[in-house]
Amino acid sequence: MTNTSTTRAGSPLNALIRRARDSFEYRTGLSLSRREPLAPPAWLHGVGDGDFFESGEEFFRYFTDIAYLRPHEQVLDIGCGTGRMARPLTKYLTGGSYDGIDIVAPSIEWCQQTYAPRFPNFHFHFSDIYNKAYNPTGKHLAAEYRFPFAAASFDFIFLTSVFTHMLPADLENYLSEITRVLKPGGRCLITYFLLNEESLKLIAGNLGSIDFKNELPGCRVKDVDVPEAAVAYQEQEILRLYEKYKLTIAAPIRYGSWSVRKEGLSYQDMIVAGKRG
């Protein structure tokens, strides 16, 4: 009988082998495998608990089915990492363009080297923003940062698991910049941990995956020592900011499964909105 625990792709043994291989490739610069060209080495990317490929394909469906992304449009990915969202878009944005920005320099360097020769309409930019965990020598504060793009440059902007790691002043500045660089009629898709009557009731009963018991001015966090690790916002406060920056929410808000709702479209909550013309 075959021992499936040692032959499955996701088995502990195979995971150990992959880690050893990736460690060797990182230290030596040599390749022991022929991985997909757009798949970053494991030592480089970090996308939480989600699978790199599955997460990208999942959100690609949301971009097209919920936010109505079209192949000719100009797209901005804020917090692009190593391209998990860019990868499926390479086959779709046949007449459009993609720009990704991130605060982790090695990730951007890898994307620039990997995508540029294959997809001239894909561009990656390093944003030198201070972050205690990911860019401790950053020159700019997120609350003061101006996106390196002209006004009304993009048809569609998305942030996946970015505002869930940003404090209030940083989030509001980014939302202001999103509005600035969106074209009139352009759309944005952003994920959150939203606190409302239902989610608060669930996490109060210790049902949610994150309890957000620590309250800070304007938000709740998982860990007061590292507040950006996971940040939740009152839904009404987010709605107020959308109104302030003239973003019209395309109802309904798609709630996620993080609070262990019976029905959740994705893990995090999701808001799609359009810039008023």
Q: What is the mean pLDDT of residues 117-137?
A: 92
Edge-first strand listing for the sheet containing 269-275: 122-126, 97-102, 74-78, 154-159, 182-192, 269-275, 247-249
Computed on alpha carbons and rounded to an integer, the radius of gyration of the chain in Å comes to 19
Beta carbons of 181 and 152 less than 8 angstroms apart? yes
Q: How confident is the model at residue 134 (pLDDT cuts 50, 70, 90)?
A: confident
pLDDT surpassing 90 at residue 143? yes
Dump pLDDT digits (tens) for 170-218.
999 999 999 999 999 999 999 999 999 999 999 998 878 899 999 999 9
Parse the chain into domains and list their residue ranges: 1-34, 38-275
Instruction: Identify the pLDDT of residue 145.
Output: 96
With respect to CATH, is domain 38-275 assigned 3.40.50.150?
yes
Strands (E), 139-249: 154-159, 182-192, 194-195, 214-216, 219-221, 231-234, 247-249
Instruction: Identify the pLDDT of residue 263.
Output: 86
Residue written as token pair 């040599």:
30
Enter the DSSP assignment of 129.
Answer: B
Q: What is the mean pLDDT of residues 110-126?
A: 96
Q: What is the model's pTM?
A: 0.86
C-alpha span between 206 and 77 (Å, rounded):
34
Q: How many Cβ atoms from other residues are within 10 Å of residue 248's Cβ?
A: 13
Dump pLDDT digits (tens) for 19-43.
555 445 444 444 444 468 898 887 7
